Structure 1
């Protein structure tokens, strides 16, 4: 079965506001206040909790950068899990595209570097978990993207054929994951890292999810 696998953060949904709020909760505990800005730092937020902590700790000039990241990363995850869907929104047309792909006979799933439990919680709270046949997170396997294995596993769990699959994402991690798996990638240009994705030379770029079904048909039939 032909399969389309989606990244989550920055691809299906803008999760940056809740991620930054969780990081700022950590900086509040350090006595530094809200170090990160939801608009300016959205791109870093979508690279994950450790990236946000590293950015903020660098701004406040903390001497023990890696030690504080290790200490506060679990705190960040706890804060994020407690308020995971306050600011998060699905991108326009995302679920309509998913529904169209399903009607066209494609299996659909998710492969994310968000911990699996948090990804399951978020998609359930957003009311769309049932639209996806699989969900593989950062800790589902012993490796994570850009290793090909999580993508292959997401395809397998969706009932698909890894040789007839495609990854929709928004970062160099997604581009490299697709390349490692030997499948095409489609990168979105509407996320915080939009200015960088064209340079990654994916098989296709889309500026709105309306473009996805036709792009998928062209790339994997």
Structure 2
């Protein structure tokens, strides 16, 4: 089976608003107030919880790895408590997923979000059953850009890595695909979209409506 594997944050969905809200819970506890702004810092948010903590502490001249380590569980708890308040799928994302499935592709998610939170988010968005597999940051001992999580996602889909494409939004996704020897498609509609071309993926995606044909051009179609 040919398979299509999606990153989650910044690729399928804009999760930045809820991530930033969770980080600001931490910064308020530290006495800094709301350090991150949803409009300005979406790109930071989509790089993950630790990155948000590092960025906020750095802005206040208070970067301390021990503080990041102490507050990361606080951030995850806050995030899990309001994980889908602001999060929305990018326009056409789920329609593209259904179109791919209709063409016979296996479809899964490989994310650097902790697996439990990724499962929770997809359930709350009513979309978990649309995907045949979900592998998170802590599913295996390693995370992207190590290729093992991608390979495991494909395995769970009953697919073959040699007939797989990874859809993502970052250098992490590009490097994961390269390490696994599969083509990558990077989306251009996220906060870092203008930087995607420089990563030289096999394809850029400006609109989810184009994805089924882009995938067909890269790995063909299941019979």
Common fold: TM-score over 0.5: yes
* TM-score, length basis structure 2: 0.98
> Which residue of structure 2 lines up, in the alignment, with residue 114 of structure 1?
113
Per the TM alignment, residue 178 of structure 1 is displaced from its structure 2 partner at its CA by 0.3
Work out whether 1:55 is the aligned partner of 2:55. Answer: yes
Q: What is the alpha-carbon distance in structure 2 between the residues aligned to residue 96 and residue 127 of structure 1?
A: 14
> Which residue of structure 1 lines up, in the alignment, with residue 39 of structure 2?
39
> Which residue of structure 2 lines up, in the alignment, with residue 16 of structure 1?
16
- Which structure 1 segments of 5+ residues have no match? none
> Which residue of structure 2 lines up, in the alignment, with residue 185 of structure 1?
184
Per the TM alignment, residue 211 of structure 1 is displaced from its structure 2 partner at its CA by 0.9
> Which residue of structure 2 lines up, in the alignment, with residue 7 of structure 1?
7
Q: What is the alpha-carbon distance in structure 1 between the residues aligned to residue 205 and residue 61 of structure 2?
A: 39
Q: What is the alpha-carbon distance in structure 1 between the residues aligned to residue 181 and residue 58 of structure 2?
A: 37
* TM-score, length basis structure 1: 0.99
1:111-190 aligned within 5 A: 111-190=110-189
Deviation per residue, 1:68-102 (Å, 9 max, x gap): 10010000000000000000000000000000000
Per the TM alignment, residue 159 of structure 1 is displaced from its structure 2 partner at its CA by 1.2
Deviation per residue, 1:91-147 (Å, 9 max, x gap): 000000000000001000000000000000000000000000000000000000000
Deviation per residue, 1:17-68 (Å, 9 max, x gap): 0000000000000111000011111001000001000000011111x52111
**Secondary structure at 1:120's aligned position in 2?**
helix
> Which residue of structure 1 lines up, in the alignment, with residue 83 of structure 2?
84
- Which structure 2 segments of 5+ residues have no match? none
- Greater than 6 Å deviation, 4+ residue runs: none
> Which residue of structure 2 lines up, in the alignment, with residue 29 of structure 1?
29
